[in-house]
Structures are given as C-alpha cells and as structure tokens.
Amino acid sequence: MKPVRLDGRSLTRAGLVAVAHGAQVELAAEQLPAVARAAEFLAEQVRREEPIYGVSTGFGSNADRLLGSHRVRDTLGDGSPASGESLHEELQRNLIVTHAVCVGEPFAPEVVRAMLCIRINTLMRGHSGIRVETLQALAAMLNAGIVPVVPQLGSVGASGDLAPLSHLAIVLLGGGEAFLGGERLPGAEALSRAGLQPVALSYKEGLALNNGTAQMLACGVLALSKLEDLLDTADLAAAMTIDAFAGRLGAFAEEVHALRPHPGQVEVAAHLRRLLDGSTLADIPYHLVPRFRPWTPDAWDDSEAQSLRFDIGWDWVSFTQRHGREKFYTRFRPFRGGKKHQPQDSYSLRCIPQVHGAVRDAVAQAARVLEVELNALTDNPIVFPDADREHVEEQVISAGHFHGMPLALAMSYVKAAIPVLASISERRLNKLVDPATNDGLPGFLIGNEDATESGFMIVQYTAAAIVNDLASRAMPASVYSIPTSANAEDHVSMGANEARHVLSMADDLGKVLGLELYTAAQALDLRRDMINAARALADRADAAALAGKVSGAPRQDHRDHAGFIADVEALRAELADAGEFHPGRAVAAAHAAIRERIPFLQRDRALDGEVAAAVQLVVDGAVLAAARDA
C-alpha cells in the first residue's frame, strides 16, 4: 500500500484505516522544523529555570511541585542516579512506566496501529515539544510492524487516553510487550529484532506521547469504517425482505421524502429505490400473490410441479361478500391469497427510510467530529514557540484539548443508534418466519409437511439475543464521570469506553444483518417460486386447473358458479400475461452471492455452518459488493 503522509493537518479517515491495516507512514519533511522549534524552545526555558507544567513541575495533583536542580535524597553525592538520568528525564520516563497499567485483552493490531498513527500525526503539528528524533523513532516502530500490547481497559478519556498511550510509549523506551510478526515479545526484544534502539525521553516527551485522545479516536474511526458499510448492508437486507414480502414501494418515493428531508432519510429512500429497481415482486397486485399450503401427494398433477416443497392457494370472495365493496372488486380480483388488501406495509418495512436514515445521520455526525479530531492537537500544555509574549506561561498554555467529551458524546449517539438498526432488522426477520405476519409464506420458511421441521425458527432467537445484548450495552458511558488524580481531574469523558463499545457493537450489528439476509434469501426463493408456480399453472390455459387451488368455490349448480369460473379465468389470464416474477436487479445479485455459499433449505439440516457463512458474507462484504456491482 502507498505510504500515508503525516503532516498534522491532512490525515483522513481513509488514510488512518489504511495505516491500521498495514500501510506505512512518512513524516512530512516541511513540517519537521516546526516540531524542532517547539522542542528547542522548551529546552531553552528549562535552562532559564522557568516553571512549566509537566516539564519542570510534577503532573496532575503534583503540578504545584517544582523539580529541583538535584535530588532530595542524594545517594551518590552529586544528585544523579547511577544511570546519569536527570530529574527532567526521570519525570518523563516515570510518567510512562507508572501509567502503563491497563488490564484486559489486548486491542487488535489494527486498533494499535491506528493509535500510533494518530499520535504521530498530532505531534507533527509542532505544538507538543517532542524532538524530531523521538517522533522519527515512533514512526520507525510503526513502520517496522511492531505492535505494542495495549490492554483494553484503563482510560477514562481525560487527560486523554493516558494509560493505553503509555503502553504504546513504553515499548519505545524498551519496556512493556509488543507483537512482531504475530509473536508476543518483550518490548526491548521487539525493538532489537527490528533493528531499532530504545529512546530516552527529553523535556515533556512523556507527556506528549501519552496525553491525547488516540485510543478513543482510533476505535471510533475503525468503528465508523465498519458502520458505513453496515448501513448499506442494512438497506440491502431490508430491500431483499421487501421483495420477499412483495412489498409496497410508494413509501420510498422521492416526492414523499422531499416533504421531510432529513439527509439520511432521503438517502435511504433513494438507495432502496436503486436496490429494488427492476423488481416485479414489489407492488404486485394483491390478488396475484398466492398463500402457502402444505404439500400433499395430490397437490400437483404433473411431475415437475410435484418436486415443489409447497402447495399454493387462494380464497374466493363470493358475490354476497362484495356488497358495498363493488368498486374495490372492480379494480382488484376477488381473491384473497398471501397479501392483504391494504395499501401500507408494517412499520419495519414502511418506515425503513425514517429509521435507517436516522441511524445514518447519527453516524454522519460522529464522522464530522472524528474528522476534526484527526488533525487536532490533543495534548497539554500547548507550546507556542513563535508567539511574541512577555512571559513563558503565555507561550506554554495549559488547556483541556485532551478532554474526550466531543468524541464521547458523538460515540454515545452512535452507540444508541446501533441497537435501533439491529432491532428493526430483527423485527423484519421475525415477520418473515411468523405465519401470522409473513403474508402467506410457510411458518418458519419450511414446508414441514410431516410436522418434523423447525426451519428458520431459532435463527430469530439468535437475532433476538444479539439485539437484547446490544440494547443492554447502549447505556452511554459519557454520563458517568468518575474523578481521578486526587480530584485534580475532577470531570472525565469516559470516551475511551464509549468508542470501544461502539467498535465491538458494530461487529454484532453485522451478525444481525447477516441473519436477516440469510432468512430473507430463503423467503425470497419461496415467494418467487410460489408466484411463478401459480403463473406456470395459469400458462396451461386451463381455468379448471387454477380453480383447484381456490377455496370457497360454489357448487356447479349454484347461481354464482359461472361468475366464479369467470373470475378464475380473469385471474389466470392476468397471471399468464404477467411474465416471470423476479426481485430487483441488485437484490437478485445479492441473493445469488448468498446462494453461492448457502443453498436453499429444502428440509431441516444443521444450520450452524450456514449461519457462520451468512455472518461472514457481511464481514467480507461479498454480498454488498455483489449488489453494488449490479
């Protein structure tokens, strides 16, 4: 992959994702003089014995304690430790080694690589006081493939992600642990194998390395990278479900959404129109849709049709039942099959633009925040070496850019949105398997003529379990501040937990969407095959054959019998003239991609491997790619 150039001002989300997945970085040469000026400025202020937070004072609640010119406990007689390390160097080293205290499972390598990239980029702004050689060493560590071991739990999101970023920096010092080539090693050994040397930190460099929002930002950017594809996947799953329901498209019309133009809502409606373009299942007349009947030995009278796993049927609406509704039955044939005579679908179908669109808007808002943060300075204090000010405290300013609340609240918004998208997906899945709501499809989408089969029954259970788990994790962490550092840091963001939750929740959302696609593909096959079986029967130009699928026929000697035959013939003619029924082009392509890995479920079989394959189709993007290509 092409190296990603870091100058502190132009890093994009796409660039960060590329580095996370293996791209190298290069430092913008024209920006390095600004980096050097800030470091030289700090060194000069130390020589002048100016009090500067985190440089010549302690940290946090120790900010009121100035470093002396020698040690209080002068064990060697000259105030220096055996290593020759100064108090300023010891301050920075101690900051890293005492703050690397996270616990739990390590972050995935892509998260850690993204954290390193973010930290390097913000330090390139030239307001942090880090030396060029230290920054180059950090970039060399990233480019060498060294991935520090960063346990996931330990950041409160202010002062930035202190503990996890210390796990990054400690490897640079030759401590901690790191992965290299997939092997977990002591940090010093990882550096040695890569041909790198440990770094001794100078003024403010420890603070520059661990004081920032890189963990929450890395998790947030990687989560949004997944979510943006999952938003399209959710629309695709919904479109396949609409085709499987022979749903109504009026609710997605452009002129409808122009009257309530929330950006995400308008985008989803347009996306659905593209996905369903070419469908002859959507908006099919109600009376053409037969309902499922269990297969019986005498269900079909020819050998080809006998291979079907279903029977079909309609109820005829007698003339006496049409009283007061004559106009309706002039327009629609007097048959009740799988579709109810109503112009609107349930909310989980009709309100897809409103629900999916609101989630898109939440993700778009988070993207705006993260894009600002990618090229922001997030450590403290901020160094202005070129400022013409009288006092050093006007050139080294303590502020609060490390506070993660902008990211935390954006992630809270997304965190609440993820279960919403998962929930409406599960509701569509449930409608597909429930014979009371699936518009004439078989219960649990299986023929089950011997009453031994469960079909897709438990697939819905799994989706329901995941939705419940997502909902229970959606409580915003950002509303629970717990003060730290002896109340010097008395309000924190908890943004690191928020972003970490969103990253893991995105994966689980993908599982629910995979289950909907898996189920919708089965339902689509059944719907298409049932309607086309009716059409094949109609093609025989034999109204009597079709009449055998209609319940409620009057006796031959009944006065309504001739009218019944005329109605059946009209139904037959309309079916025969309709042409083969099929889903939208993009939906058909996605369905074919699913069928390449997962066959139609004719009879009960083990589904565990198929469920895993359905989830993987979402993870690897194969089903979405097929729809996009179409």
Bridge partners, residue 541, by sequence = none
Residue 573 contacts by C-beta under 8 Å, 6 or more apart in sequence? Answer: 538
d(CA 125, CA 593): 46
Q: Find the catalytic residue in 53, 286, 413, 518.
A: 53
Torsional sign, CA 607, 611, 613, 617: positive
Residues 463, 515 contacting (CB under 8 angstroms):
yes
d(CA 47, CA 41): 10
Q: Is 53 in the active site?
A: yes
d(CA 545, CA 557): 19
Q: What angle in degrees, to the nearest 10, is found between the helix axes of 132-143 and 32-47? A: 130
Kindly tell me the burial class for residue 57, based on how many C-beta atoms sit within 10 Å of its own C-beta (0-12, 13-18, 19 or more): middle
For residue 153, the surrounding DSSP H or E stretch is: strand 151-153
Residues 320, 405 contacting (CB under 8 angstroms):
no
Question: Encoding tokens for residue 571?
Answer: 């139904």
Identity of the residue numbered 42:
L
Identity of the residue numbered 529:
D
Residue 242 CA from chain centroid, whole number: 22
| 559, 565, 568, 570 alpha-carbon torsion, rounded to 10° | -100
Residue 435: CB atoms within 10 Å: 14
For residue 535, the surrounding DSSP H or E stretch is: helix 495-538
Rounded to a whole number of angstroms, the CA Rg of the chain reads 33
Q: 18, 44, 5, 7: which is closest to 110 by C-alpha? A: 18
Residue 23 CA from chain centroid, whole number: 22
Residues 407, 370 contacting (CB under 8 angstroms):
yes
User: Which are the catalytic amino acids?
Assistant: 53
